[in-house]
Amino acid sequence: MNEPPEFKNVYEDRKRAEAYAKLEFPGTYYLAYRDLPSLIARYAPGKRALDFGCGTGRSTRFLKSLGFDVIGIDISASMIAKAREIDPMGNYRLVPDSESGLQSLDLKVDLVLSAFTFDNIPTREKKIALFKSLGSVLSQEGCLINLVSSPEIYRHEWASFSTSDFPENRFARSGDRVKIIITAVEDNRPVEDIVWEDDDYRQVYREAGLEPVEVHCPLGLKDEPYPWVNETEIAPWVIYLLRKAV
């Protein structure tokens, strides 16, 4: 497993923040959020939530719409500034790029949502450390939802993404860098992520003291009003619902 050094967070960028601020739930992204309300209702017992890696606040506002008292945190000053601009009444906090940023919050929540954040966290050690910290802020019966890109998203074409310029993605394994273009935003510069396989995520969870209670891979439905490409047959996202291990 490769663990690339000096992985740069491509989202610490004012131009990307401006583009992402306009992004809600189009096309392929719709599938990432479509089933979350029912999953959250099933597994999250209360109304205190943390949006880990909130970016410009899309997921934070989504949780607020479900009735949660939510804090959005991110390491990108550009993203947090944009989130506050869009949602002045929201609770958005800039935190250090380390697990200590979570510990400094001193809170307990019933739900932690991490939407796409771990696509950009490069090493196994850092993933484990962050999941341990996220588990520490979770109430005993709480749920941690880790929504990530499926490895397959980097190998196919989609309603909202393109990988045709990056055939090398097909050979990537956990820890390797992959590139993808988000066609749903004005900023068409390639995004660089870190691919991570299911077996390796499960090992990370075990070492962090977490266990999956459900793994959900949403597929598109033919009667949905989107120009699906591969979404009806290949799941672009994986949603891990996690609890503290007993």
Domains and CATH numbers, the chain: 14-151+197-244 (3.40.50.150)
Which token pair is 115?
A: 């939407």
- pLDDT at 69 > cutoff 60: yes
pLDDT score, position 5: 47
Cα separation, 56 vs 76, whole angstroms:
9
Mean pLDDT, residues 89-104: 81
The β-bridge relationship of strands 191-194 and 177-182 is antiparallel
pLDDT score, position 246: 84
- pLDDT at 7 > cutoff 50: no
Cα separation, 127 vs 181, whole angstroms:
24
pLDDT score, position 194: 97
pLDDT score, position 173: 96
Dihedral sign from CA coordinates of 209, 143, 175, 95: negative
Cα separation, 205 vs 203, whole angstroms:
5
Average pLDDT of the residues of the chain: 90
The β-bridge relationship of strands 177-182 and 210-216 is unpaired
pLDDT digits (tens, 9 = 90+) for 17-31: 555 555 567 899 999
Mean pLDDT, residues 127-145: 95
Cα separation, 83 vs 92, whole angstroms:
7
% of the chain surpassing 70 pLDDT: 88
- pLDDT at 105 > cutoff 90: no
Tell whether pTM > 0.95: no
Mean pLDDT, residues 202-223: 98
- pLDDT at 177 > cutoff 60: yes
pLDDT digits (tens, 9 = 90+) for 28-65: 999 999 999 999 999 998 999 999 999 999 999 999 99
pLDDT score, position 2: 44
Cα Rg of the chain (Å, integer) = 17
- pLDDT at 1 > cutoff 50: no
